[in-house]
Amino acid sequence: MIVVRGDKAGLAGTHDRILLGAGGPDTSAEAARYAFREAEARGCVLDVVRAWRRPAHPAADPAAAPAEAPERDHEERARAELDGLLRDAMAEHPGVRVHRTTVEGPARKVLVHRSAAADLVIVGARRRQGHFGLQLGRVAHTLLHHADCPVAVVPQRV
């Protein structure tokens, strides 16, 4: 599903950038393949963003680990998940220029902000078992209403 919205630059495709909101492999594998195909066809940069969040509560025993360790662990885990998600698509589309980023913060806010410099933002969605249609999460729902460029929601194959 593609919803055409946004500013004139995004609609005209003048940013030469596609933005992929990288979620987990259960929702984003098909979206990643779609994003690589679009970036290759358009000859533009693929900006892939994986948002991560700090733990709401620090470790119970502050002496157990340095204060930075949990944050660094979450960022490293996000980076590893991003690498795993992109591995196959990068191998299939070696000519696509990819810019990978992990960012601390709510994914929906990070992606809406970055959509201002994109021609298309792509996110994945789950198919609902036993029902027609997609199960849209907060991120896809927010982008459909607030992104500054067209939005593609790509269903994950079951």
Residues 18-65 have pLDDT tens digits of 999 998 777 788 999 999 999 999 999 999 999 988 766 555 545 445
Is residue 21 within 8 A of residue 154, CB to CB? The reply is no
Count how many Cα atoms sit within 13 Å of the Cα of residue 26 in the half-sphere of its side chain: 5
Q: How confident is the model at residue 2 (pLDDT cuts 50, 70, 90)?
A: low
Give me the residue label for tokens 């996000």: 78
Task: Identify the burial level of 141 via C-beta atoms within 10 angstroms of its C-beta, where 0-12 means exposed, 13-18 middle and 19 or more buried.
Answer: middle
Task: Identify the burial level of 90 via C-beta atoms within 10 angstroms of its C-beta, where 0-12 means exposed, 13-18 middle and 19 or more buried.
Answer: middle
Domains of the chain in sequence order:
2-55+68-155 (3.40.50.12370)
pTM of structure: 0.82
